[in-house]
Structure formats: structure tokens, C-alpha cells
Copies of this chain bind each other. A is one copy, B any other.
Amino acid sequence: MTEVAIIGLGQIEVQEHWDTSLRHLAWYAIERALDDAHTTHIDALFVGNMLAGQLSNQMHLGALIADFAGLRGIEAVTVEAADASGGLALRQAVLAVRSGQVQTALAVGVEKFTDQTGANLTTALSTSLDADYEAVHGATPAAIGALMMRRYMHEYGLELADFAGFSVNAHANGSKNPLAMFRNQLKAERFTAAPLVATPITLFDAAPTGDGAAAVIVTNRERAMDMVPQPVVVAGSAVANEPLALHDRRDAIWLRAAEQSAAKAMQAAGVTPADIDLAELHDAFTILAALSLEACGFAERGQGWQLARDGEIGPNGRIPISTFGGLKARGNPGGATGLYQVVEVARQLRGQAGDCQIANAQIGLAQNLGSNGATAVTHILKT
């Protein structure tokens, strides 16, 4: 079995990039990843994107971005699984390298949400739900997340304030990340006073949508050892799904796909949750952070929120999460998010995380969810 390693990382600031086109966003991240890997030779490009067709009138990003980035003639394709598109793009890159058919693959996630605003964006985002049974009735991703959060609060007797620790941690970490969309600290008392988005989810429960791009270059491990001083090994990579529609899932407050993909990835990597030094989880809403901690085995069922309350998700806690701000503070650029997560974990393992560095980080997990958990992709990275 060919082992796969990361040789290049690139990312740009998550922001409202009004003046920058979709293709430029992608190119800036690709350029940085190529520089980081000290190479210009790429055999295959996998583009993770969610909504360019609807928001920017641009499909067929594979050929478009390959050309714009100077990667002419190569194999290129777009990969989509809602907000898990970025993680899936890396997954395809890993499979391609493992196949032996592709030597070096580049996964880039790119999303430009600001080509549309307000209702248009919400409508487009809702196409990631079940169109015939959810979105047609007016459901949005936040509305579905709210149903999950309400049920969780009901089951475990919680109130909004019990989730504050997730956003406080995310903003504390994001304040030290120069590429984060929001770098302000957040106080717990401000969290509970935030305006409602979809009861019980408030503005400070929900990650902001932003424009961004992140890129990861992978090749086989042997080659990587010759190319860069600190290749990061992709020790586990797994994808699972469950029904798109929340009402079709067996359990509304258990992320089954997240559990399955995490278990498979950890098994492949030969690690258990206790071995993992940090995790970038898909905290698009605080409830997803709590449920992801449980699905990955970092907490028992119903106890994920306690890790936030007890400070165990902070940089010095038992399982640091959102170490660069997570979706909540770094920002959530849709189909790019999964690759930001991987870039962040890899930077931690390289010891290049600056003020966000987790001490002695050697094994990290990145988990990217699509549509509140319908798709889950988990990568385990090792030094």
C-alpha cells in the first residue's frame, strides 16, 4: 500500500474578498502551496467547491483553475459534497496517489460566497439539504442545526449558556491567527446575549460564511521524504454518509457518518482518540462541535458539551479543537473549509502554528461535515 504524505500547504485569509474573483482566490492558495512544496509539477488537481455554479455562474472549475494556475493539460475535476467538498477533494487526491496512477496531486478548496448576498446566499446554501423534503419547506442549514441543538438541549437538560465554551475557545484561538475572519475575543456573557439566527442557535453559535481558498499537495511518502524537510503523513482517510434529510436519520443527535469515518480513519492510522493531540472539527454550529466530539470518541454520548465547559478543548486541554479559530472565528468558506482544517492540522504537526501552536503536536485529526453530518470525511495526520 502506497503511503501518502503532504508536501505543500497554502491558504489565504478568510474574508469578504469583494475585489477578488473565484479563480484568483484559488490561484493564491495554489501558488502558496506550490511555493511551500518547492515544486511546480502537479499531475492531478481536485477542486473542492460548493456553490460557484449558483453564486458565480461558473461550473467546470477543474479545467478553469488548472489553466489559470498554469497547470495546463493535467487531470482536473471538481468534487462536491456540500460543505464537506474540501475534505472530499483531499480524499480524491489521496486515492489518486495511492492508485499509483498519479504521482503528485493538489487539492484546492475555494468558495466565493460574496458574489451574492442575503437571501440569495441562504437559498443557495439550502440546496445542500434535501430539496424535495427539507428546503422546499423553507428549511435552511441553520434551521436543521437548530432542530439538532434543541433536541440535544432537551435530552440532556441544557441551556444556551452551556455551549458558550465552544465559541469562546474558537475566538480566543482565532484572535491569534492572522488569517482568521474574526480575531476578536468573545466573552461568555456576550455569547448568550447574541441575536437569534434560528432558535436556539444565535449569531455566536453559528460560523460566519466567508470567501477563501486553501490548498494541500500530496505525493507518495518516499518521494515526499526527498522533497521536503517535514512531510506530514496522511495516516488515515475515510468517508461515510447518512441520509441528507435529518428526519430520515436514525438518530438526530448522533453523527453516525462522523462516527464511522472517524473510526475507519483511526483504525487505518492505528490510533485511538486518546492518541490524538488536536482536532479540527466542523464547528459550523456549536452543536456540531459537541456532537463531533462524541462521534469521534473524545467524549461519551451527551457529554461533548462538558469538554467545552471544563476548558478541555483549549490549547492546553485534553483535546484542543479549533486551534486556529475553527469555522466560528477563522470563518467558514464552504467548500474550502475542509482544506483549511487539513492545512491547520498539518501546520500544527510541523510546529509552524505560531501563536496557535499546540505543544508537542504529533497526531492530529481533521473532520469535515457536509449538511450537518450527512457526509463526513476524516483525515488523520501524523508527523
Contacts and interface: CB of A to CB of B under 8 A. Distances in A.
Interface of A: 1-2, 21, 23, 44, 50-51, 53-54, 56-64, 66-67, 72-82, 88, 91-92, 94-96, 98-102, 124, 126-132, 135-136, 237-244, 248, 256-257, 260, 370-371, 374-375
Contacts of A21: 132
A374 B63 contact: yes
A78 B80 contact: yes
A42 to B, nearest CB: 12
User: Which of A2, A77, A126, A135 has the largest number of chain B CB atoms within 10 A?
Assistant: A77
Given A59-B80, A60-B81, A98-B98, 15 more contacts: A2-B99, A44-B239, A58-B132, A59-B82, A60-B128, A60-B129, A60-B370, A63-B244, A67-B243, A72-B241, A73-B241, A76-B241, A80-B80, A92-B95, A98-B100
A375 B62 CA distance: 8
A74 B127 contact: no
A66 B241 contact: yes
Contact of A62 (B81, B99, B131): B81
Contacts of A257: 63, 73
A49 to B, nearest CB: 9
Number of identical protomers: 2
A53 B56 contact: no
Contact of A98 (B75, B101, B241): B101
Given A73-B241, A100-B1, A241-B75, A82 B60 contact: yes
Nearest to A248: B67
Contacts of A128: 59-60
Contacts of A60: 80-82, 127-129, 244, 370-371, 374-375
A80 B81 contact: no
Given A78-B81, A80-B59, A73 B242 contact: yes
A80 B43 CA distance: 18
A59 B63 contact: no
Contact of A51 (B51, B53, B72, B237): B53
A280 to B, nearest CB: 20
Nearest to A123: B57
Nearest to A375: B63
A242 B64 CA distance: 8
